Amino acid sequence: MSARGWVRHRIGTFSLDVSWDVEPGSVTVLYGPSGAGKSLTLRAIAGLVHPDEGNIELDGAVVFDHEAGLWIPPHHRRVGLMPQEYGLFPHLTVAANIAYGVHNPDSQARATELTRTLDLQDLQNRRIWELSGGQRQRVALARALATQPRVLLLDEPFAALDSELRRAVRQEIRQVLTASRVPVILVTHDAEEALALADHVQIIDNGRIVAQGDPVTTLRQPAAPRIARLAGVENLLRMRVAGLQPEDGAMICETLDDSPLTLETPLAEAHEGDVVTIGIRSSDVILASSEPQGLSARNVFAGTVTTIEPRSPGHDVTVDCGGGLSLVSHVTRHAITQLGIREGAQMWAVVKASSCFLLSDE
């Protein structure tokens, strides 16, 4: 079961020209700024937009072929679409939402299984407005997967959640996606999400795919300056898992150096000894000019400023902490003068454990 195809479509002066090829159980992330054509691509695959040209194949079956004049309507395509605000039916209970498109015993069994996997048993008789954002997301995912779709289309699936919750549920969702063996196309404008969830990234800008490949390489070397500014995850650290602390929900990682430094991160699906990539946004790294005292943040490193590079709306300051650890922090111009940040200066870099996230490339 795979999903592949290409479409061209014009709306006014905007033109979309994209293609995709997604393996079962793998996640392709369409990453780009808003208005780039990401959602439009999903709508074309779902059959909610009739593209000018193209060919769309789902699990070996052609559902759109412009030249052959073939266009299968959405209700015969078997796609699972999860829109940004989830699109749950407010007049139905959770159970009725999940079972909405179910019409054979096989799907019924799948719905029951998903209700259990996504921990929704106790919510079955609730109405949608009684649910939290995270619960809504799980109901929407269960509903989309219950019909056993040939492709799963997720439009900004985490946008409606607050940032703490976002990081927490990402791993869980990723496991459900991988286990479902469905090709997944996920749309986001958040580089952190792309790094955490993608097996394959396609950067889309102004209707065109400007770069694609594995997440780290593709997002590290963004094709266009406009995208580079959006990317925002400057710290990608190769580290070894040194210990798991499930009781604290924490994980200890160390740098791959002879005298390693340790970093505390949230607990993730990993084993001791695994080498993983940890992402930290430069805006999540705090700098201090003297050693901070009485701080709740778990990670404090002393280091020396090596470079200061302007990047609107502030500066990227690189701090070498020794032990193979170098952190980039994004600070304002104000902070540069106030803290006396200059090359060679002694600084302390502070990172909350919850700001660290595991990339999907393990």
Residues that bind other proteins (CB under 8 A): 46-48, 73-81, 83, 85, 87, 89-92, 100-101, 103, 128-129, 143-144, 147
Nearest to other proteins of 87, 314 (CB atom): 87
Rounded to whole angstroms, the Cα distance separating 222 from 210 reads: 9
Biggest distance spanned by C-alpha atoms of the chain: 70
| Nearer Cβ to other proteins (81/204) | 81
Minimum Å gap between C-beta 145 and other proteins is 11
Output 72 or 345, the one with its CB closest to other proteins: 72
Closest approach of other proteins to the CB of residue 63, in Å: 12
CB of residue 48 to other proteins, shortest distance in Å: 5
- The strand pairing partners of 7, in sequence order, are 18, 54
CB of 207 to other proteins, least distance (A): 21
**Residue with smaller CB distance to other proteins, 58 or 268:** 58
- Nearest approach in angstroms of CB 131 to other proteins is 12
Q: Under a CB-based contact definition with an 8 Å cutoff, are residues 239 and 276 in contact? A: yes
Looking at the Cβ atoms of 160 and 261, the one nearer to other proteins is: 160
Cβ closest to other proteins, residue 159 vs residue 308 = 159
Q: What is the 3-state secondary structure (H, E, C) of the chain?
A: CCEEEEEEEEECCEEEEEEEEECCCCEEEEECCCCCCHHHHHHHHHCCCCCCEEEEEECCEEEEECCCCEECCHHHCCEEEECCCCCCCCCCEHHHHHCCCCCCHHHHHHHHHHHHHCCCHHHCCCEHHHCCHHHHHHHHHHHHHHCCCCEEEEECCCCCCCHHHHHHHHHHHHHHHHHHCCCEEEEECCHHHHHHHCCEEEEEECCEEEEEECHHHHHHCCCCHHHHHHHCCCEEEEEEEEEEEHHHCEEEEEECCCCCCEEEEECCCCCCCCEEEEEECHHHCEEECCCCCCCCCCEEEEEEEEEEEEECCEEEEEEECCCCCEEEEEECHHHHHHHCCCCCCEEEEEECHHHCEECCCC
Least distance from C-beta 204 to other proteins, angstroms?
A: 21
Kindly tell me which of 77 and 167 has the beta carbon lying closer to other proteins.
77
CB 91, min distance to other proteins, A: 3
What is the rounded (10 degree) CA torsion for 281, 287, 291, 296? -40
The residue type of 314 is: G
Q: How far is the CB of 101 from other proteins (least distance, A)?
A: 3
Q: Which is nearer to other proteins, 46 or 95 (CB)?
A: 46
d(CA 41, CA 43) in angstroms, rounded, equals 5
The nearest distance, CB 320 to other proteins, in angstroms, is 50
Q: Taking the CA atoms of 45, 46, 49 and 50 in sequence, report the sign of the dihedral they define.
A: positive
Nearer to other proteins, 48 or 288 (CB): 48
Cβ 263 to other proteins, closest distance in Å? 41
Closest to other proteins by CB, 74 vs 324, is: 74
